[in-house]
């Protein structure tokens, strides 16, 4: 929890930190859903939604496709080299999908030329789709999504600010004032160091899963920062920590929760707390996995986390003009814990800029 910037949080309402600091601290934060992604930044920084969006406007952080074929928040200055080093726009899985959709090399090249010509300023998703249609490219069945994603993975594009309620896309060269240039070794070392510092303790397989890279590459990356790594075997697993991470590198626990009590958090659907690891059994009890991922299809529900362990789920709902947070714990909560949930919901409401009412549901989902 401490490494993940949650307990204690990196920033608070009284002493917030920037979205850029959060992105640097964790390396990247999964953000394919916009509402989930902005709360991942907000819950750690003490910023409001408006302030996170201002950080995007100031070009501190961007959303793009650096790894795992999905969207993450990353420091704007690192977006290009991260995509070029870690993304796999020519990977076998995408090649298969392109073939299924009838996307050919000519479509990819034409889309790239269109983007270079027209996306010097942010363009909303509907406008980008119209651009493809006008050029004779069929955008249906996620073809537009894959073409845009491909050119984000190559480092040509990134997402800009939201336009209306739509994501926008823009040339990185036009949007990002300064893109860092790192060698392959510098990039691998940076990602390994940030991951260890922002997620530890972890295993080699956790880092391999986070990057979707083979263990050989992961071990190469770790060797580049070996002087900053501590290793400890617990219950047959070798855990890696950063020497300057929380607890000074001591793996004095059997799970990734904070040492002692870390409080109550309402975490977003796609958060590094679960998505940042290959092994989730230490924070999500296996008997409750189906309640967080009911389809067992990697579509997660937002989670109630108590003292470093998933203890329930929640969802935001709109009732008339009232924003409510429906909380379903896995086991009944006492009065003190419900007060903690209320405080967490109040923090979420402050982030959104609205008053929030908590609706208490029993473990069966009944109010």
Burial of 96 (0-12, 13-18, 19+ CB in 10 A): exposed
> Would the pLDDT of 260 be above 60?
no
- Over residues 217-241, the pLDDT tens digits come to 999 999 999 999 999 999 888 999 9
pTM value is 0.93
Round to whole Å and give the CA distance between 283 and 310: 6
- Tell me the per-residue pLDDT of 281-290, one tens digit each, with 9 for 90 and over: 889 999 999 9
* Whether the bond into 201 is cis, omega within 30 of 0: yes
Q: Domain segments of the chain: what residues?
A: 19-175, 199-249, 264-360
Burial of 148 (0-12, 13-18, 19+ CB in 10 A): buried
Quote the pLDDT of residue 262.
73
If you write DSSP's letter for every residue of 263-323 in order, what string do you get? -EEEE-SS-HHHHT-S--TTTS-GGGHHHHSTTSSS-PPPEEEETTEEEEEEEEEEETTEE
Q: Is there a shared CATH topology between the 19-175 domain and the 199-249 domain?
A: yes
Backbone angles phi, psi at 159, to 5 degrees: -85, 145
CB count within 10 Å of CB 167 equals 18
Pairing state between β 237-242 and 61-67: unpaired
Which pLDDT belongs to residue 304? 98
Domain 199-249: give its CATH code.
1.10.10
- Give yes or no for a cis peptide into 8 (omega within 30° of 0): yes
Match 């190559």 to its residue by tokens. 154
Residue 247's pLDDT is 42
**CA Rg, the chain, in Å?**
21
Distance CA 223, CA 229 (A): 9
Q: Which residues of 101-120 are buried (b: 16+ CB within 10 A; e: fewer)?
A: bebeeebbebbbebbeeebe
Is the four-CA dihedral 31, 33, 34, 39 of positive or negative sign? negative
**Neighbour order of strands in the sheet with 322-329:** 264-267, 303-306, 309-319, 322-329, 356-360
Q: Supply the DSSP symbol for 214.
A: -
Question: pLDDT, tens digit, for every residue of 11-45?
Answer: 999 999 999 999 999 999 999 999 999 999 999 99
Q: Per DSSP, what are the bridge partners of residue 357?
A: 324
- From the options 1.10.150.120, 1.10.3720.10, 1.10.10.10, 2.60.40.3080, give the CATH code of 19-175: 1.10.10.10
| Per-residue pLDDT tens over the stretch 98-138 | 999 999 999 999 999 999 999 999 999 999 999 999 999 99
């Amino acid at each position: 929890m401490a490494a993940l910037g949650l307990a204690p949080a990196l920033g608070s309402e009284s002493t917030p930190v920037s979205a850029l600091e959060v992105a640097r601290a964790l390396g990247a934060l999964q953000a394919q859903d916009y509402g989930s992604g902005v709360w991942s930044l907000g819950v750690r920084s003490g910023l409001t939604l408006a302030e996170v969006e201002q950080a995007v406007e100031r070009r501190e952080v961007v959303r793009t496709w650096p790894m795992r074929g999905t969207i993450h928040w990353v420091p704007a200055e690192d977006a290009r080299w991260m995509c070029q080093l870690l993304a796999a726009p020519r990977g076998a899985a995408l090649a298969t999908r392109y073939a299924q959709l009838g996307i050919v090399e000519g479509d990819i090249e034409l889309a790239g030329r269109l983007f270079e010509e027209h996306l010097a300023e942010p363009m909303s998703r509907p406008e980008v789709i119209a651009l493809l249609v006008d050029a004779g490219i069929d955008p249906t069945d996620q073809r537009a999504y894959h073409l845009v994603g491909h050119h984000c993975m190559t480092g040509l594009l990134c997402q800009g600010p939201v336009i209306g309620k739509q994501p926008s896309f823009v040339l990185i060269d036009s949007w990002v004032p300064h893109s860092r240039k790192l060698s392959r070794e510098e990039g691998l070392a940076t990602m390994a160091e940030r991951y260890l510092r922002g997620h530890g303790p972890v295993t080699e397989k956790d880092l391999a899963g986070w990057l979707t890279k083979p263990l050989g590459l992961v071990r190469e990356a770790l060797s580049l920062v070996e002087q900053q790594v501590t290793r400890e075997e617990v219950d047959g697993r070798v855990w890696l920590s950063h020497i300057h991470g929380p607890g000074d590198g001591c793996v004095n626990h059997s799970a990734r929760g904070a040492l002692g009590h870390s409080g109550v958090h309402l975490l977003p659907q796609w958060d590094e707390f679960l998505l940042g690891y290959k092994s989730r059994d230490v924070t999500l009890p296996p008997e409750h996995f189906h309640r967080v991922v009911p389809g067992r299809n990697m579509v997660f529900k937002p989670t109630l986390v108590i003292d470093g362990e998933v203890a329930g789920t929640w969802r935001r709902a709109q009732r008339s003009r009232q924003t409510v947070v429906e909380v379903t714990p896995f086991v009944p909560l006492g009065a003190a814990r419900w007060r903690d949930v209320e405080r967490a919901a109040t923090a979420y409401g402050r982030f959104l800029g609205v008053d929030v009412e908590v609706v208490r549901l029993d473990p069966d989902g009944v109010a």
